[in-house]
Amino acid sequence: MICMVQWVPCYPDLQEAVLKAIEGAIALSTASQQKIDLCSLIQKDLCVLQKIVIWRLINRQGSSCQNHSVCIYSVYPGANWNMMDSNASLQQKVIQRKIIHIDFDAFFASIEIRDNPRLSGKAVAVGGASDRRGVIATCNYEARRFGVHSAMSSAHAMRLCPELKIIPPRFSVYREASSEAHAIFQQYTDLIEPLSLDEAYLDVTGTHLCRGSATLIAEEIRQKIFQKLNVTVSAGVATNKFLAKIASDWNKPNGLFVITPEQVDDFIFDLPVKKIHGVGRVTSEKLHKKGIKTCGQLRQYSILELSRWFGSFGERLWELSRGQDDREVQTSRRRKSLSVEHTYDKDLAGLEDITAQVIPLLEELQERYQRIEKEYEVHKHFVKVKFADFTQTTLEESLPATGENVKEHFTQLLIRAWERGGRPVRLLGLGVRLLDLREERALEQLELFEKKIMGLV
């Protein structure tokens, strides 16, 4: 495999230092026979050489420097600069990533219509029964024209669309269809990151299939899935995950949209900020109050200003408004949290009813955590309370330093969350934030590597 890199703004006089870091990472990867992922460390620790390079630029000159140096994001065992012309310029040594985002069109509903053609042309949703406080999991495009959408209560969906056909979910069938789609993905690459049953990222950077064209690969995948499963998918092709996911939604349903490297700047400039992943209603309203509705307008502000307004998310906004996203396709997705929740047939009237639900919810959560406890460590507890009027609140805290046990802590969190509304409750949830023990061990190894690079050990 090869050494994968990505352009970032950087001073020319630091190019040599960056290249030495890359060579050191290659040596470490070859010696350990493990992939060295510097991306996660870059995001967590400003002391890493590559992050210092970016941070110095930001603090000195904002975004004025462009196209100078290169920042590594991962190294694979056997990576070797000699695979390329040793006299090539830095620009020629850069390998542009080719990322495809595949997204099924109304997946669950499409499967149900496929298996029952009499539903074709009708408004169809998959979800719980309207008389048992069910919720819509997904719906087809005919239903969406009436305003029906996922996470809506089934009763409300029926009021919007009285002719709506709500089908109980058949997850075993959906999983089987998803597995068949993944078998098709694997014909083109092993670098597949499933996001859910109905969407995935594919990194096809190194493939020679379809003349190395990610666009042709995406179109072939779409055709094969339709021939095999008789349902449609949409695809987005771009140089990173952020852009590829936006692209897959651009021509839905049953569409393909490509953002070439040359088109990125113009495309992002006019992109509404609400399209940025992580920009929800509150952040969107805050941006709009400042007169920021497009990424082009967002670029007018420095990373320091955005960080002052939005905290750590400010740096992410700065990067995404320029189309920058160094996240790699992760073949093994790691958890950030684990949670359980339950919607009750009858509203929970008060605190006594609510606190009585802590034990059954906690038992379910603990049972699920036991399956992964060797890989993760809990560092926060959180709760979710959804009131009868569908408003909801969440509350989370670090683990108590006192002797308070887990049940007591969750109970107190639920009480405090409920007190924010003080109304009957239809749903309760308990959850934990997780530290990835495997990642922590990798960070320790990379910190040692950084010290060697900097000559500290």
List the structure tokens of 365: 């959560």
- 3-state DSSP of 190-239: CCEEEEECCEEEEECCCCCHHHHCHHHHHHHHHHHHHHHHCCCEEEEEEC
Q: For 34, how many CA atoms within 13 A lie in the half-sphere containing its CB?
A: 8
Query: For 383, phi and psi rounded to 5 degrees?
Result: -130, 160
Q: Which of 199, 315, 328, 450 is catalytic?
A: 199
DSSP annotation of 96 reads P
Burial status of residue 106 (CB atoms within 10 A of its CB: 0-12, 13-18, 19 or more): buried
Catalytic status, residue 199: yes
**393, 421 Cβ separation under 8 angstroms:** yes
Residue with tokens 């995404």: 320
CB neighbourhood size of 37 (10 A): 21
Q: Which SS3 state, helix, strand or coil, does residue 436 take?
A: strand
Give the separation between CA 265 and CA 259, rounded to whole angstroms.
10
CA-to-CA distance for 214 and 99, rounded, in angstroms? 7
Catalytic residues: 199
